[in-house]
Structure 1
Amino acid sequence: MVADRLYYLVSFLLLGVGTYMLIANGNVVKKVIGMNVFQTGIFLFFITSAFVTGASPPLLTAPEPYVSPLPHVLILTAIVVGVSLTAVALGLVVRVYEAYGTLNEQAIRQVSHDE
């Protein structure tokens, strides 16, 4: 019982840390890392909420209760999308650095406003 709640606590802690990194940091790379930490918290929350004590895989020969495979499949899909999103974001970070010479969000806004 306590271990189940510990996973929820860790997932909400990851969500909080990821949100803080997205809001508080001015560095664009740290924002991408914060986005990944936030995604990891969401993944852990969904996997934890799909856990059923004493359940078995949904096979014809397995006894009831069954575990739904849908959350696991959705998380696998979300992991692939998250990796793709991270790759695109880091590619954009490289282009922003080439264009502006900095990764600081305020400096990029200042330079783009001056142009």
Structure 2
Amino acid sequence: MTANLLLAITAGVLVASGVYLLLERSLTRILLGVLVISNGVNLLFVVAAGRPGTPPIVGLGDPETTSDPLPQVMVLTAIVITMAVAAFVLTVAYRSFQLHGHDEVADDVEDARIRRLAEADAASESYEDTTFSDSGEDVVSE
């Protein structure tokens, strides 16, 4: 089985650029990243399928030259899943635009508090120092 190197490199570039878009704060760019990654993975499925052959229909051609139907089914499934994820991200972006006037992902308040505590090298209020007694039971020190 020989793989087309150009298609494999193209799939890698698509996945890499999709990951870059996923790291952005705008939900529109996140959606584009999901779509680009999906196209890259679908292309990888096609590359992994091997040489093209006759359609995988029983009785239509020689079984030796028939292409493998499993990658085709996986690509179709991936397309459906990508469409569902795209619809979900679009609804989240639309709702965010309705509420805030933009589709930027906001910082989480709890994450910002934990980051400030980490920078100050202080323990959070919810941290409990537990030690074990000789009997094996937890003892909470206050």
Query: Aligned with 1:66: secondary structure?
Result: coil
Q: How does 1:44-59 map to 2 (within 5 A)?
A: 44-52=43-51, 55-58=53-56, 59=58
| Matched residues, number | 107
The reply to whether residue 67 of structure 1 matches residue 36 of structure 2 is no
What letter corresponds to residue 37 of structure 2 in structure 1? F
Structure with higher strand content? 2
**Structure 2: 5+ residue runs without aligned partners?**
110-142
Which has the bigger relative contact order, CA under 8 A and spacing at least 6? 1
Q: How does 1:1-115 map to 2 (within 5 A)?
A: 4-23=4-23, 25-52=24-51, 55-58=53-56, 59-63=58-62, 64-105=64-105, 108-109=106-107, 113=109
Structure 1 consecutive aligned stretches of length 4 or more whose deviation exceeds 4 Å = none
**Structure 1: 5+ residue runs without aligned partners?**
none
TM-score by length of 1: 0.80
Structure with higher helix content? 1
- TM-superposed CA distance for 1:3, in Å, is 8.1
TM-score by length of 2: 0.66
- Equivalents in 2 of 1:37, 1:83: separation in Å? 12
What letter corresponds to residue 48 of structure 1 in structure 2? V
Deviation digits for residues 1-36 of structure 1 (CA, Å, limit 9, x no counterpart): x9811000000000000001111x221111111111
Deviation digits for residues 24-81 of structure 1 (CA, Å, limit 9, x no counterpart): x22111111111101110001001211325x333433522132111110121121112
- Equivalents in 2 of 1:17, 1:104: separation in Å? 20
Percent sequence identity over aligned pairs = 26
- Equivalents in 1 of 2:54, 2:8: separation in Å? 22
- Equivalents in 2 of 1:29, 1:86: separation in Å? 10
